Amino acid sequence: MQQLTISLGILLGILGLASYFGTGQDSITALIPLFFGVFFVIFGNLAKQEKLRKHMMHAAAALALLGALGTVGSIPGIIDVIGGSGVSRPLAIYAQTAMFLMCLVYLIRAVKSFRDARKSEGE
């Protein structure tokens, strides 16, 4: 999970930078995925230490939950875009939806990993 966490951080960083520069550097909020990404990379690297692994992976899962909850509002917008309706900031909708999906998939994988770890401890 540590490498997945670092990879997610890098992908979110790229998404944040692409969003920021893709919008003409108009809004600092386009960098939000980058800020999340920095924390994922930090948590992933700290999790390489055995004594910190469990805490850092739980922190990363909590951060993924915050990221998913913070971007779930993009779903109606992406449905409008797919349906052909115009939205005022389509790039923001794409970026938020991408962050939502990345965080959601990571969270699902984290929960599965936690359950598998708990099962193996019980054996």
The C-alpha atoms of residue 80 and residue 44 are separated, in whole angstroms, by 35
Per-residue model confidence as pLDDT tens for the chain (123 residues) = 889 999 999 999 999 999 999 888 888 888 999 999 999 999 999 999 999 999 999 999 999 999 999 999 888 888 888 888 877 787 888 999 999 999 999 999 999 998 988 888 766
pTM comes to: 0.87
Interior/surface letters 5-21, b for 16+ CB within 10 angstroms, e for the rest? bbebbebbbebbebbbe
- Domain locations along the chain: 2-122
The C-alpha atoms of residue 104 and residue 75 are separated, in whole angstroms, by 13
For residues 13 and 38, the answer to whether their CB atoms sit within 8 Å is yes
Task: Give the dihedral sign, CA 102/107/112/113.
Answer: positive
